Structure 1
Amino acid sequence: MLTLTDNAVQVIRDLTAQSSSSQETGIRIASQADQAGSLVLSISDGPAATDQVIEVEGARVFLDPVAADALDDKSLDANVDQQGSPSFRLSQQTTG
């Protein structure tokens, strides 16, 4: 299952708090039907019926079935640049 770094949790909570007052809001990672292997990240008011939901310390991530399968062994990290723009990156999960 996709894991979230502490940085990702904080950035996701900050993004969703700015965009909505709903506690169901999170980020959604979904496959793009017209571009095999491409994923798109967006802010969503809630999960779709078939989404896998990952919640860590108030940060919610919704994964469509294709994205959930593709990201099963990945970790999501995030940073915010000096202009306040967030960026996300995926890496292989480390086993310890």
Structure 2
Amino acid sequence: MLTLTSGAVQVIKTVTANPELPPETGIRIESGVDGSDALRLSVAPAPEAGDQVVEEEGARVYLEAEAAQLLDGKTLDAQVDPQGDVAFTIAEGDTGA
């Protein structure tokens, strides 16, 4: 299963904290967009049918079935640069963060 670093938890909670969004809003990760191996990240109001749900400290990640297989055993991290842009990264295994 995908694990989240504390940085990813904080960024996801910040991104989904808008009071106009449903309380179960999370980040959804999809694979195979347009036939490529790229992953697409988006804000989702709830998981879709068949999604695997990863929740840690109130941060929710919804993984489309194929993305869940690709990310099994990996760690999601996130950082915000000085301009406020968010960068998500995926690392092999548990980073211990």
Instruction: Normalising by structure 1, report the TM-score.
Output: 0.91
The structure in which a higher percent of residues are strand is 1
4+ aligned runs moved over 6 Å, structure 1: none
Counterparts of 1:1-96 in structure 2 under 5 Å?
Answer: 1-18=1-18, 20-94=20-94
User: 2:2·2:68 contact (CA, 8 Å) conserved in 1?
Assistant: yes
Relative to 1, partners in 2 of residues 1:33 and 1:91: Cα closer, same or farther, differing over 3 Å? same
Measured in 2, the distance between the counterparts of 1:20 and 1:43 equals 13
Relative to 1, partners in 2 of residues 1:67 and 1:19: Cα closer, same or farther, differing over 3 Å? farther
Would you say how many aligned residue pairs link Structure 1 and Structure 2? 96
Measured in 2, the distance between the counterparts of 1:39 and 1:48 equals 16
What's the offset of the Cα at 1:23? 1.2
What do you get for the CA RMSD once the two structures are aligned?
Answer: 1.7
Relative to 1, partners in 2 of residues 1:36 and 1:7: Cα closer, same or farther, differing over 3 Å? same
User: 2:33·2:39 contact (CA, 8 Å) conserved in 1?
Assistant: no
Instruction: Normalising by structure 2, report the TM-score.
Output: 0.90
Aligned residue identity for 2:71: L
Relative to 1, partners in 2 of residues 1:34 and 1:8: Cα closer, same or farther, differing over 3 Å? same
User: 2:29·2:62 contact (CA, 8 Å) conserved in 1?
Assistant: yes
Relative to 1, partners in 2 of residues 1:30 and 1:54: Cα closer, same or farther, differing over 3 Å? same
Q: Which runs of 5+ in 1 are unaligned?
A: none
